[in-house]
Each structure stands twice: as structure tokens, then as C-alpha cells.
Amino acid sequence: MLETKRIGNKIAEARKKMGISQTELAQQLFISPQAVGKWERGESMPDITTFDRLAAILGVDLNYFSESFQSSVTGTSTSEPLESQYVELSTEQQKKNLSWDLSKLNLVNTDFSGLKNLHEKFSSSNMLNCQFIGSEMSGLILKNNNVVQCDFSNSDISKSHIQNSNLGSNHFNNCSLRETEITGSYIQNCDFTGADFTRSKFKSSGIENSIITNTLWALTSFTDTYFGDITFEGRLEECSFENCGFKKVKFIHVTLINTFFKNNKKMKQVEFIDCKADKITYAFLKTNLANLTGITLLNVGEDEQ
């Protein structure tokens, strides 16, 4: 079992060997000097996601923090690596249906790729350049977060809740975002190529300058949502846009089926290029004063193709 006092002594010893102060170490970890002080006094211990970066900064490997193990700067031992201990803990947690709470953390350059059953809470965390590639994150709770330059490609983020968060320059390529609710959040410069937003809900949010090529929109609803510099392609079926705002938005080669438009702003500025729509969608667009010159009506039965 890891003891906070022993861990604190090891952190202090390695920090002094590196010739850096508590404040300098804290700056590199994006935390407060007081937090480092508490570690070294044995009053608290770094969370699981901080150990990897801490080891890199201090010039040791993760085994340095293992019980009865002496670091590469003081000697060697044969105790079990820290990584293995945490893997065992994670497995045991899964058996007991427990979960981690990774809230209120600075997660920088952290690799979560390939993790399974990651039904975690990341509330009020700063996440920079983290990897979640191919992870199972269904049911994720993401609230009050700043998520920048992270990669969620090929991950399952279905049935999740993204609330009051800033998402910037992230990759969501081929992600499942089915039935995910995005509320009060701002999305900018993200790549959603091949993502699936079936039955997802956007409310009081914004999405700007992002890539949505080959993205699946079906039964997707947008309420009080702002779109800026966005190009829709492909097919939208049984979607809804209500009280939304548009700036530099294009629909190119889009087929619109049973898609609802109501009380949207600046629809005249939306460009429809070589698009097709069924009668009901065409009527909704007309009532929203959209420019219909780039839209042709679907023939009977054509919408089934």
C-alpha cells in the first residue's frame, strides 16, 4: 500500500536532486505550490493522472514511487511497478462497479487511449493535449471543462453530458456521440469527420469553424444554438433547428428529410447549394425566409433512397 508520507519524502528528495523549488515544480504541473507542499509533508498525494508527468519532470520512472522500491537515482529493487498496482486497482474497481472521479484536475499530455468502461466524471478540469483514442466513454459527465487539443477519435462518447464547457481544436473523428446532450458549451476548430450525432441534443451552445464531413445527423435537435463558418454535407433526417443563429453557414449537396426549422435568425444568409428537400422541410425553410434557390423538391419516393 502506498503511504502518503513516504511518497512525499520521495517527491522532495527527487525535486531537490533536480535543483528546482516547489514553486518551479508546481508551475510545470499547472498546480499551486501549496499542493506540492502538501505532497511533500505527507498531507495529500498526487492523483493517478499526475504521477506520469511528475516522474518525467523529476527524471525518475514510475517505479520510483512504488513501495520498497529505490529509484534509479538511489539504487534498484524488485518491487512491483506502480503502473501494475494501478492497473490492478482499476480492475478491482471495475469488478465492484466503482468509478473514478477525475474532477478539478489539470490533465496535461495524459494518455487515456484504449481504456474501457470509462464512465468517469471530469467536471471542472483543464484538459490539454490528452489522448482518448479508441476509448469507451459512454455516459461521460463533462461539466465546466476547458478541453483543448485533445484526441477522442474512434471513441464511444454516447449518452454523455457535456455542459458549460469549452471545446477547442479537438479531434472527434469517427466518434459515437449518439444521444449525447451538449448544453451551454462552445465548440470551435474541432474535427467531427465521420462522427455520429444520432438523437443528440444541442441547447444554448455554439459550434464554429469546425469540420463535419460525413457526419451523421438523424433525429438531432438544435435549440438556441449558434453556427458559425460551418458546412453541412450529406443527409439530415428528422432533425430540428429552433431559435438558432447562422453566420457563414452552407448546406452543400445535402438531402433534407422531415427537418424542422422554426424561429431561426439570419436564415437568408444561409447558402443552399445543390440541395434537395421533401415538401415539409421545404415549407419550414420557406417560413423561415430561407433562400430556396439552391434547393429542389424531392420526387415522390426519392427520399427513401
Ordered domains of the chain (ranges, CATH): 4-82 (1.10.260.40), 99-304 (2.160.20)
> Which of 41-50, 125-134, 158-167, 230-239 has the largest mean confidence?
230-239
- Provide the pLDDT for residue 90: 41
In angstroms, the CA 139 to CA 136 distance is 9
Asked whether the predicted pLDDT for residue 82 surpasses 80, the reply is no
- Confidence grade of residue 146 (pLDDT, cut at 50, 70, 90): confident
Name residue 242's beta-bridge partners.
223, 262
CA neighbor of 74 nearest in space, from 13, 125, 6, 158: 13
Please compute the mean of the pLDDT values over residues 87-93 and round it to a whole number.
Answer: 40
Q: Cβ distance 145 to 166 under 8 Å?
A: yes
- Residue 100: pLDDT band by 50, 70, 90 thresholds? low
Task: Check residue 221 and give its pLDDT.
Answer: 98
Q: Average pLDDT for residues 155-166, to the nearest whole number? A: 93
208 - beta bridge partners? Answer: 188, 228
Residue 256, pLDDT > 70, answer: yes
Q: What is the pLDDT of residue 303?
A: 58
For the cut 70, the answer to whether the pLDDT of residue 115 exceeds it is yes
| Residue 165 backbone phi and psi in degrees, to 5 | -120, 160
Burial of residue 299, with CB atoms counted within 10 A of its CB: 0-12 exposed, 13-18 middle, 19 or more buried? exposed
* Contact (Cβ atoms closer than 8 angstroms) between residue 204 and residue 226: no
- Contacts with 282 (C-beta within 8 Å, 6 or more apart), sequence order: 292, 295, 297
**Mean of pLDDT over the chain:** 83
Average pLDDT score over residue span 249-271: 95
- Mean pLDDT calculated for residue range 116-127: 71
Most confident of 3-7, 184-188, 197-201: 197-201
Is residue 260 over pLDDT 50? yes
Question: What does the buried/exposed string (b/e) look like for 152-187 if buried means 16 or more CB atoms within 10 Å of the residue's CB?
Answer: bbbbbbbbbebbbbebbebbbbbbbbbebbbbebeb
**DSSP label of 263:** S
Strands 275-277 and 106-108: unpaired
Of 59, 52, 53, 49, the closest CA to residue 20 belongs to 59
The three cell numbers of residue 133 are 483514442
